[in-house]
Amino acid sequence: MNTLCVIPARFASTRLPGKPLADIAGKPMIVRVYQQASKARRLTGVIAAVDDERVYEAVVSNGGRAMMTAKDHPTGTDRLAEVAAAHPEAELIINVQGDEPMIEPAIIDELAAAFDDDPDLQMATVKSPMESQADINNPNNVKVVTDKNGYALYFSRSPLPYFRENTGMTVYKHIGIYAYKRDFLLEYAKMMPTQLEQTESLEQLRALENGYKIKVIETDYHFVGVDTPEDLVAVNAAYQKLSG
């Protein structure tokens, strides 16, 4: 399939203002994310969906493609849908967050591959096992449970499942990387917010509440998103270690 990777990047950030331009080993974070995503083999193209001229210039001046999108999009999905609407040639849209400068290209390829043998699949995402009880209890770490075939049953900020009995079950963290069939994405962005979505503040619950399936693939890759100044320090240290 014609597969387009879109990287939404919003300039404003409460905890890290101007986050897309934060320096990571000499390059803006949005450029690092773009370059990592571009290493995926199954992509037809990569485009950054931006809302600020400075971010646009950072991407383009480093050889990337960017599209200016509306500043008032309420969610990243709305920004993603604006790009998808402008690219009718794309069959599959993969959403890589603009604050994941250490995104593993193989995960992007695995997400794309999930659609190869399932023509009815509309949406897919990623999970990774959790071990630390502190991480499990942290509401910033979204948890996911799936059925026997790997489709999401529920996402929650609460520990999930509740361990009334210790069966040795693994707790999984949801990784916010998504793949959508383009036509579904455009429809999904128009759906009204749902009650569970608003209660948990988790947009993916909108799809489940409307009866759609979400395939969840598993990975052991370690993800380091940048939400705080401390995260930025950690990612810079990781890049220095790789280059050293």
Q: What is the mean pLDDT of each run of 10 residues along the chain (244 residues)?
A: 94 82 93 96 96 96 96 87 96 94 94 93 96 91 96 96 91 94 96 95 95 95 81 87 69
pLDDT of residue 13: 74
Rounded to whole angstroms, the Cα distance separating 193 from 105 reads 31
Answer yes or no: are the C-beta atoms of 203 and 145 closer than 8 Å.
no
* Model pLDDT, residue 240: 81
Alpha-carbon Rg of the chain, whole angstroms? 18
Closest CA to 92 of 5, 211, 151: 5
For domain 3-243, give the fold.
Answer: Spore Coat Polysaccharide Biosynthesis Protein SpsA; Chain A (3.90.550)
Q: What is the pLDDT of residue 243?
A: 66
Q: Which parts of the chain fold into alpha helices (H)?
A: 29-37, 53-61, 76-85, 105-113, 133-137, 182-190, 195-200, 205-209, 229-243
**Bond into 105 cis (ω within 30):** no
